[in-house]
């Protein structure tokens, strides 16, 4: 991941609604949630939610999966892990093994 991609991810998560969307999708796991249900769950207008989802998608933090006429969104855990890895790249004064517990804590089988 490069600096531009990291800034895009951090910027996407730096907005309250998008952060809540991402957390909701993380909880949903690989099943994801249809766009309309995300908007309902968070009490948001659908067209506004579409904008938020597009920003998260462009940042590589969510992905859209078409299921017939329904667009289901899923948290992109690979994109999230890449962002975390970028943030921790130079951690612990050049001793990345000290950060291993944090990396293991955020690693999932998703």
**Could you tell me the residue ranges of all domains in the chain?**
3-106
Distances (CA, A) of 55 to 17, 36, 92: 11, 16, 31
pLDDT at 75: 97
Could you tell me which of 13, 14, 31 has the C-alpha nearest to residue 22? 13
Model pTM? 0.86
Query: CA-to-CA distance for 41 and 21, rounded, in angstroms?
Result: 9
Q: Per-residue confidence of the chain (110 residues) as pLDDT tens digits? A: 899 999 999 999 999 999 999 999 999 999 999 999 999 999 999 889 999 999 999 999 999 999 899 999 999 999 998 898 888 877 777 776 777 777 677 666 65
CB-count burial class (<10 Å; 0-12, 13-18, 19+) for 104: exposed
Fold assignment, 3-106: Arc Repressor Mutant, subunit A (1.10.10)
């Amino acid at each position: 991941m490069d600096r531009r991609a990291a800034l895009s991810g951090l910027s996407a998560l730096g907005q309250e609604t998008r952060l809540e969307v991402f957390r909701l999708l993380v909880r949903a796991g690989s099943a994801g949630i249809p766009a309309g249900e995300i908007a309902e769950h968070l009490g948001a207008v659908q067209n506004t939610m579409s904008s938020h989802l597009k920003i998260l998608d462009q940042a590589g933090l969510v992905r859209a999966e078409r299921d017939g006429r329904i667009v289901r969104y899923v948290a992109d855990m690979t994109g999230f892990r890449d962002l975390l890895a970028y943030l921790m790249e130079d951690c612990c004064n050049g001793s990345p093994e000290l950060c291993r517990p944090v990396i293991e804590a955020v690693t999932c089988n998703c």
